[in-house]
Amino acid sequence: MESSKLLAKIRLHDKVPRHVAIIMDGNGRWAESRNLPRTAGHRAGMEAVTEVIEGSIEAGVEVLTLFAFSTENWQRPSIEIDALMGLLRLYINKEKVRLRNMGVEVYILGDLTKVNSITRKAIKDIASVTTGGDTLRLNLMISYSGRNDLLEACRSFAEEVSKGEMVPAELSEEILSERLYTAGIPDPDLLIRTSGEFRVSNFMLWQIAYTELSIVFTLWPDFSREDLFDAICDYHLRDRRFGRIVGQEISG
């Protein structure tokens, strides 16, 4: 079904996911299947990012989180890492003003200690330029690990306990959530993984406890607005029970 018809279908529902997260996978395979260098796949993937941002705004999504670079990705060859960081800077410099004009507020979340200074400067720049955007919050996860996110949250709480500012019995889901990179935003309603892989790859392990999963076999550079709308339409059919039985209302 073409994207305009899918969008019309989405707008008939009040069950649009507030927060969509995407594990963008398949850039390398896309390039290799065309006998191109892996960096060509990453460059092509930038176009899919634009498609998904615009599609999210059209569909009424409030928060879009894109898993761009994991802590495990630091193990890749340095030439590929340098190319990825260069592409990130290129994307920021090219898109920051347009994103601001679209009302997109950009956050870069993750352990940025390994990111080089010129890239960190670009990251601060796009965050500053897009501050106050109220159409879509865009989280780009760079050097992110779900396990490390939890570890750092626990360490933060433990430090407060050691200083006498908290006591162990005060630890709750809410207290822990407030110490994660994603503090203050709703957990993902829908997680899309491209390229047909059936795993979450250490991504937002705490936050996706009740998230609906959508596995699509499209490689990321080929992922389109239509694919996004398809996943949202499928989400409409899901019965999110949160441990309850069919037909039981969710209180609160």
What's the start-to-end Cα distance of the chain, in Å?
A: 36
Whether 73 is a known active-site residue: answer yes
Whether 101 is a known active-site residue: answer no
Integer Cα distance of 18 and 133 in angstroms: 16
Max alpha carbon distance in the chain (Å)?
A: 59
Label the pairing between strands 19-23 and 63-70: parallel
Identify the CA nearest to 24 among candidates 88, 85, 70, 91: 70
Helix (H) or strand (E) holding 157: helix 146-162
Integer Cα distance of 111 and 125 in angstroms: 17
Q: Kindly state the DSSP code that residue 74 receives in the 8-state scheme.
A: G
Residue of 25, 149, 189, 230 marked catalytic: 25
Residue of 14, 27, 35, 73 marked catalytic: 73
Which active-site residues does the annotation give? 25, 73
